[in-house]
Structure 1
Amino acid sequence: MRFIASALVTLAFAGTASLAQAQTLKVSYDLSLAGLPLGKADLVSSFKGSRYEMQGHAKLTGLAMILTGGRGEASASGTLAGAAPRSTRFAVLSKTSENQRSVRMGLKGGQVAEVEIDPPLEPKPDRVPVKPADKKGVVDPMSALIMPALEAKPLTDPVNCNRTIPVFDGASRMNVVLTYGETKSVEVPGYSGPVLVCNARYVPISGHRTERPATKFMQENRDMSVWLAPVEGPRLLFPLKVSVRTMIGVGEMQASLWSLEGDGKASAPMRRAVRADEAIKAGALR
């Protein structure tokens, strides 16, 4: 489950100049697995100048909560410069009814400076060692959700899908490879318009366990996608939906509320709000 949760959070999401004003993006997500409600997640991202800060909270509900007591919180910060965010700090705390684990990581210039995992991961003979080179030129899993525009083109230009995101979560190094799939039109509370649907691939580099069935499954997985919605102020894209086929069904993280606030003023509410998958228009936009 830790790997699946990491994939859901990681999959999803680069130059921009200094931002003209402070803006805050608030997104609430519904989590599901195999069509069954799994829980809720809330993510708040603040952009001021070239700086960004992110705060996230997730909690399982219903039967999943009864069985696991699962909940977690995460934070990240860094700067927006060039074709990708540059992480400076990342922290995550996950709890279940049986245990909890925290990860804290500091980065400088795209390179991991320090990592603290409590309790430490147990040594496993099939775990691929993480090399010093694997900790360079990376972003944390939370900052990976931020995708600044690749070129001076419209944010929903298909070229903005095509990127490779080098992610290090404190224990493992992976690439998330995105390629353009199609453009759709969606409507959720707070946003109505086009989204880029990017196909996604998981490429493990190090820190993973080669003999785990889940690792092999994800390496061969072709049923993963990220839906990216434009955020015009800082000129970036942010996930509206993430879909990942797992060994026990399709896991989804889908926005149920989208709110962009600037200078203390919230965006105007939508007159009508429906779920994104109920409002997809037939075919791709021209």
Structure 2
Amino acid sequence: MKFLSSRASAFLAGALCVAGGAFAVTGPARAETMHASYRVSLIGLPIGIAVANSSIVEKNYKVDLNVRLTGLAALVSNLKMALASSGTYEGGAIAPFAYATTASNSRETRTLRMALDSGTVRQVQYSPYWDGDKGPERVPLMDEHKRDILDPLSAFILPVPAGANPVGPGACNRRVPVFDGYTRFDVTLSYVGVREVKTAGYSGPVTICSARYIPIAGHKVTAKSTKFMAENKDMEVWLAPVPNIHVVVPYRVSLMTLAGTAVIEASELRFAP
């Protein structure tokens, strides 16, 4: 099997993280939990499920996401992924301090653990060991690429401007710096509109944001997947407001891939104090 944490796999993980762990905080921190189940499809065919559990307690947050392929997709590649992130939200700023991912199938398992301090990466551990691909076609990762960043699960814990409505432009319109342990990239979100949705546990409005992927460093400039995603204008994120704590979480993520349109959509979205 190809390297599980390749740039393409990392971006897929990022998309799944958007579907599973995004919070956008606007007010004083309170205790709130979320449980969400998402269906993953490719060109209209079901290929997997993602289950997320998140909590914000006072000034601390924690996000866990588990993903697995199902049906025929599982027969082709029995891929399973587990991701976790934790950190603090204080003074309108997100500060992750721990991030970990494990990806496995029937042939291999790979794990990444990352420690951070105020948005600066202090240490990254890989298992099996990986010392980086420093070929001439790869954009070098420098120290500055590991400062003032978010990990993929924390990347969408996005503060909404004070006084802004969590349904509308305030939920989008931002550029998010992300480092996944291998590559440094930005994700930009731009407001598109609002629509009504209904699923188990939630019925109401969602904000639709268009998304763009901007590679910064660590990627191969000649990689077909990187060029495709950088030019990809067919990506959207739908954000649902959470009651009581004035945050939003993703309801739906859709993006065009080299294999066709992939969609991650909530089949259940429940909140509790």
User: TM-score scaled by structure 1?
Assistant: 0.86
SS of structure 1 residue aligned to 2:192: strand
Task: Name the CA distance, whole Å, in 2 between partners of 1:10 and 1:110.
Answer: 18
Q: Runs of 5+ in structure 2 lacking a partner?
A: 1-7
Q: For 2:131 and 2:212, how far apart are their aligned partners in 1? A: 25
Offset at residue 222 of structure 1 (A): 0.3
Aligned 8 A contact 1:148 1:237 in 2: no
Task: Give the total of aligned pairs.
Answer: 261
- Offset of residue 210 of structure 1: 1.1
* Structure 1 residue 246 corresponds to structure 2 residue 257: yes
Amino acid at match of 1:80: Y
CA drift of 1:67 comes to 1.2
Alignment partner of 1:70 is 2:76: no
Counterpart of 2:29?
A: 19
Cα offset, 1:81, TM superposition: 2.7
Distance 1:16 1:181, change over 3 A: closer
CA deviation map 1:75-112 (0-9, x unaligned): 10011234442211100000122222111001111111
Q: How does 1:108-119 map to 2 (within 5 A)?
A: 108-119=117-128
Pair 1:107 & 2:116 matched: yes
Find the aligned partners of 1:52 and 1:11 in 2 and give their Cα distance: 16
Which stretch has the larger CA shift, 117-126 or 134-143?
117-126
Give the deviation of 1:16 after TM superposition: 3.7
Within a 5 Å distance, the mapping from 1:132-171 to structure 2 comes to: 132-171=143-182
**Structure 1 residues 170-224: Cα deviation after superposition (integer angstroms, max 9, x where no partner):** 1111100000011111111111111110000000111111111010000100000
The answer on 1:226 being equivalent to 2:215 is no
1:217 aligns with 2:228: yes
User: For residue 90 of structure 2, what is the amino acid of its counterpart?
Assistant: A
SS at 1:141 equivalent:
coil
User: 2:62 matched to which residue of 1?
Assistant: 53
1:2 aligns to what? 9
CA separation of 1:184 and 1:84: change in aligned 2, threshold 3 A? farther
Residues 140-184 of structure 1: CA deviation (Å, up to 9, x unaligned): 101123233222122113132101111110111110000001111
Secondary structure of 2:155's aligned partner: helix
Q: For residue 278 of structure 1, what is the aligned residue in structure 2?
A: none
Match of 2:4 in 1: none
Runs of 5+ unmatched residues, structure 1: 263-286
- Asked whether the 8 Å contact 1:19–1:233 carries over to 2, the reply is no
Provide the aligned C-alpha RMSD in A: 1.7
Q: Does 2:38 match 1:29? A: yes
Question: Structure 1 residue aligned with 2:95, among 81, 86, 98?
Answer: 86
Identity across matched positions, percent: 37
Q: Counterpart of 1:148 in 2: which secondary structure?
A: coil
Give the Cα separation in 1 of the matches to 2:152 and 2:249. Answer: 13
Aligned-partner Cα distance in 1 for 2:70–2:32: 30
Measure how far apart 1:32 and its partner are. 0.9
Give 1:122 deviation, angstroms: 5.6
Determine if contact 1:70/1:95 at 8 Å carries over to the other structure.
Answer: yes
Structure 1 CA distance for aligned equivalents of residues 91 and 190 of structure 2: 20
Aligned to 2:3: none
- What TM-score, normalized to structure 2? 0.90
Counterpart selection for 1:205 from 200, 213, 216: 216
Aligned match of 1:271? none
